[in-house]
């Protein structure tokens, strides 16, 4: 008998010792270190960085886990009640481990294999799993992880209050679809903040915690509805809802306001550039201050320069205008001649080749702040950014020739020949006007306003390539000019971004600006980590007088010339100067417009110049690109604060320049002009002409 008691005592001791030793080993970190109190206090969720427009509206997020961390005061009481009633009814009574639930699990789940009893984990234990995940142990993985979570739960309860634990839990839990935390889920499924959730909505999101795929209301609405009502029943059971209220909420249908703005939105192309600029800023502040900030995990707030109303108006203009023009281009290539031109190309490739692409950029010419950036027609299917694409400029290039001429002392009322001329050595190339007219003379202002090619070429020969090339480089264009006679017709290539920055020189009085997209970067606690500081006055590229005269001449181009429809047809009230452009064979259409508060540039064209409209009615700059700008500006005319910023009129010409444009655009040649023409060469050697110009100017100006 005594021997039996000894054996029983030893066996009991061993049985008791083994689990205690096992728990002690886990607690000691033999199976992996368990975070201590200090580490728990310093715990931070991986939180999405939020990108805001200049108005403070969310336009995007950068994340590894799509999460927006919120505080306890942003959690409505009915959400807390739903969570406790469903997931851990004795939450306020235990210290991290619910003994009754644990015993139930041991007997029912482990011994009798009854899964209906649940997992037995408290909210605190679930939080431990959410915070630090589970490890892949080779032996007893479930028991080891459960033990580890139980120990960690006790430590969490000693470090945090019950309210803090609930807040941490709701900020860490997964809702599927790469969503983490209740705030991200509220935005996704109901397009609202957590604080705005109604009771039935809070119950639905709480119900998803059991299985975030099976009870996803978008994928399985019937399952989600049933599960929501179970949660409402639990809330009634534990006294959080009266029966009549629970019954009325249970009878409600499932209503979602699903929004997946993190995948596509109104400023996707812009966000790509913002991320690049933000990462550079973060690298700089991290190295300077010693902090290792992470754009995907640290919940930064990035406020940008983008005007959301202007951006949305531009996106809408793209949808309306380009869909209409795409239909017309499709009709053109569906004719017999169009099909013959593309007969060897399969249907899918044909569709790709005949797709119209477009970009639009708006910036503040005084500061370089980017106000609008639409890089294409659809970021998901066409991610290549058209704002950065380099294409032939056509007549949008001409103002740089005229600006160089003004810098050279040539006045707006200087008259230019409109006579036909042939160039030897270039396959007898001859410039032609858009309307095929010849004869007479055009003033500088008239030639630019009417976009006359022959007078522009005459001016180009007059000032020489070097003057234009110097201005081109000073304005910041990256692609070098080629000294060819066709350059005067706009064969140079540049991007929308480069054109916008160059036209800013006209708009701001002659200085170069640097574009920027970010105003500030803030830490999660609101501290400003980085603030954009406006540099001093940029490098002067044009004299103030030349800039003033360019504004006046390009105002005239909008008022009387190829850009007139922006006001006369579309009714835009914003004061504008600018220039249209149509490249050879209507391959690309351009429109660049500006005033002292805004520069806005658009370009439209297919992916290859061989695909284009066959007439100017649809393919010209005024028909294809101008409407994007006009429709954008017209849409935002009711936005008072925005209009105050971008609708800045041009100052009147100063007294000394008041009469600078007071001359007819066109005049017939005088008797003396005709006498002089008798001695002019009708065929010009371009190389000799430009070489002679350099020699003459060198002799005149050399010191």
Contact criterion met (CB below 8 Å) for 632 and 360: yes
As for how many domains the chain has, the answer is: 2
What CA–CA distances, in Å, run from 547 to 433, 488, 526, 550, 575?
26, 20, 42, 5, 17
Q: Is residue 608 part of a domain?
A: yes
Residues 228, 370 within the same domain: no
Q: Which residues form the domain of 513? A: 311-520+534-652+676-684
What is the structure's pLDDT at 333? 87
Helices 162-172 & 182-190, crossing angle to 10 degrees? 50
Do 628 and 622 form a contact (C-beta atoms < 8 A)?
no
Half-sphere exposure of residue 162: CA atoms within 13 angstroms, side-chain side: 12
| pLDDT value of residue 701 | 32
d(CA 373, CA 360): 6
| DSSP-derived secondary structure letter, 429 | B
Give the Cβ contact number of residue 589 at 10 Å. Answer: 32
Are residues 201 and 347 part of one domain? Answer: no
For residue 1, is it within any domain?
A: no
Kind plus residue range of the DSSP H or E element containing 531: strand 528-531
Q: Residue 463: give its domain's CATH number.
A: 3.40.710.10
Distances from the Cα of 552 to the Cα of 31, 367, 583, 657, angstroms: 78, 22, 25, 10
The verdict on 226 and 326 lying in the same domain is no
Q: Is residue 290 part of a domain?
A: no
Our CA dihedral for 303, 308, 310, 314, rounded to 10 degrees, sits at 120
Looking at the structure, tell me whether residues 229 and 317 fall in a common domain: no
CA atoms of 316 and 24, how far apart (whole Å)? 64
256: left (phi over 0), alpha (psi -120 to 50) or beta: beta
| Distance in angstroms (rounded) separating the CA atoms of residues 394 and 396 | 6
Q: Would you state the structure tokens that stand for residue 522, as one six-digit string? A: 């803030």
Tokens of 365: 């010419």
Any domain includes 469: yes
| Distance from the Cα of residue 484 to its chain's centroid | 38
How many residues in total does the chain contain? 703
Residue 59 in any domain: the answer is no
272 is a domain residue: no
Q: Is 268 contained in some domain?
A: no
Task: Indicate if 230 and 335 belong to the same structural domain.
Answer: no
- The pLDDT score that the predictor gives to residue 145 is 64
Q: Is residue 273 in a domain?
A: no
What span, in angstroms and rounded, lies between the C-alpha atoms of 338 and 331?
Answer: 9
pLDDT mean values, one per 10 residues, the chain (703 residues):
64 56 51 68 81 95 85 95 95 82 54 51 87 61 67 85 94 90 94 96 96 94 96 97 96 90 75 95 80 87 98 97 95 76 70 92 97 95 94 97 97 93 76 85 95 94 95 96 93 98 98 97 93 88 97 96 95 97 95 98 94 93 97 96 96 94 90 66 68 45 29
Domain boundary among 200, 218, 250: 250
Distance (Å, rounded) from C-alpha 613 to C-alpha 326?
10
Distance CA 701, CA 476 (A): 26
Return the CATH number at 165. Answer: 1.10.3810.10
């Amino acid at each position: 008998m005594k021997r039996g008691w000894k054996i029983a005592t030893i066996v009991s001791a061993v049985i008791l010792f083994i689990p205690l030793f096992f728990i002690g080993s886990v607690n000691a970190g033999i199976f992996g270190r368990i975070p201590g109190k200090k580490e728990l206090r310093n715990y931070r969720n991986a939180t999405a960085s939020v990108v805001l427009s200049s108005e403070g509206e969310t336009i995007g997020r950068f994340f590894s886990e799509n999460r927006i961390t919120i505080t306890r005061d942003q959690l409505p009481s009915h959400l807390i009640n739903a969570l406790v009633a469903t997931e851990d009814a004795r939450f306020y009574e235990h210290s991290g481990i619910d003994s009754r639930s644990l015993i139930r699990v041991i007997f029912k789940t482990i011994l009798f294999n009854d899964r209906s009893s649940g997992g037995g984990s408290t909210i605190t234990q679930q939080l431990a799993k959410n915070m630090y995940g589970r490890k892949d142990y080779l032996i007893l993985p479930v028991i080891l992880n459960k033990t580890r979570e139980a120990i960690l739960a006790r430590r969490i309860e000693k470090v945090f209050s019950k309210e803090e634990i609930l807040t941490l839990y709701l900020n860490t839990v997964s809702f599927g679809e790469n969503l983490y935390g209740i705030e991200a889920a509220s935005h996704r499924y109901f397009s609202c903040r957590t604080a705005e959730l109604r009771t039935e909505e809070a119950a639905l999101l709480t119900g998803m915690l059991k299985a975030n795929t099976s009870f996803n209301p978008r994928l399985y609405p019937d399952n989600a509805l049933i599960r929501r009502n179970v949660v409402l029943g639990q809330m009634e059971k534990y006294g959080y809802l009266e029966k009549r209220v629970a019954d009325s909420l249970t009878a409600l249908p499932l209503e979602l306001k699903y929004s997946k703005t993190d995948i596509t939105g109104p400023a996707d192309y812009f966000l790509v550039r913002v991320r690049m600029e933000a990462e550079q800023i973060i690298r700089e502040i991290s190295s300077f201050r010693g902090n290792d900030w992470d754009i995907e995990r640290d919940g930064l707030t990035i406020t940008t320069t983008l005007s959301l109303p202007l951006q949305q108006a531009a996106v809408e203009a793209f949808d309306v205008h380009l869909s209409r023009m795409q239909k017309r281009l499709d009709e053109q290539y569906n004719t017999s001649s169009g099909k013959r031109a593309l007969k060897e190309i399969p249907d899918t490739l044909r569709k790709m080749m005949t797709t119209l692409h477009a970009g639009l950029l708006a910036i503040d010419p005084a500061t370089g702040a980017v106000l609008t950036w639409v890089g294409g027609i659809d970021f998901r299917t066409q991610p290549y950014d058209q704002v950065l694409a380099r294409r032939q400029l056509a007549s949008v290039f001409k103002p740089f020739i005229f600006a160089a001429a003004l810098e050279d002392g040539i006045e707006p009322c200087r008259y230019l020949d409109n006579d036909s001329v042939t160039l030897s050595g270039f396959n007898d190339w001859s410039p032609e006007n858009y309307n095929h007219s010849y004869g007479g003379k055009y003033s500088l202002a008239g030639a630019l306003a009417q976009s006359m090619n022959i007078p522009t070429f005459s001016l180009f020969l007059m000032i020489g390539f070097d003057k234009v090339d110097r201005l081109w480089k000073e304005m910041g264009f990256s692609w070098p000019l080629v000294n060819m006679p066709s350059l005067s017709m706009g064969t140079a290539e540049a991007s929308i971004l480069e054109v916008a920055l160059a036209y800013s020189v006209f708009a701001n009085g002659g200085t170069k600006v640097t574009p920027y997209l970010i105003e500030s970067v803030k830490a999660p606690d609101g501290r400003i980590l980085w603030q954009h500081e406006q540099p001093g006055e940029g490098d002067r590229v044009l004299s103030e007088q030349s800039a003033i005269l360019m504004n006046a001449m390009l105002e005239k181009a909008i008022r009387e010339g190829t850009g007139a429809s922006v006001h006369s047809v579309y009714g835009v009230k914003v004061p504008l100067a600018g220039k249209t452009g149509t490249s050879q064979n209507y391959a690309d259409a351009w429109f660049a417009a500006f005033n002292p508060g805004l520069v806005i540039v658009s370009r439209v064209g297919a992916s290859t110049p061989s695909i284009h409209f066959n007439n100017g009615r649809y393919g010209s700059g005024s028909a294809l690109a101008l409407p994007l700008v006009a429709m954008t500006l017209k849409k935002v005319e009711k936005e008072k604060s925005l209009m105050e910023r971008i609708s800045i009129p041009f100052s009147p010409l100063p007294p000394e320049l008041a009469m600078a444009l007071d001359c007819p655009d066109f005049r017939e040649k005088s008797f003396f002009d005709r006498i002089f023409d008798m001695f002019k060469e009708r065929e010009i050697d371009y190389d000799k002409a430009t070489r002679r110009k350099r020699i003459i100017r060198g002799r005149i100006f050399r010191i």
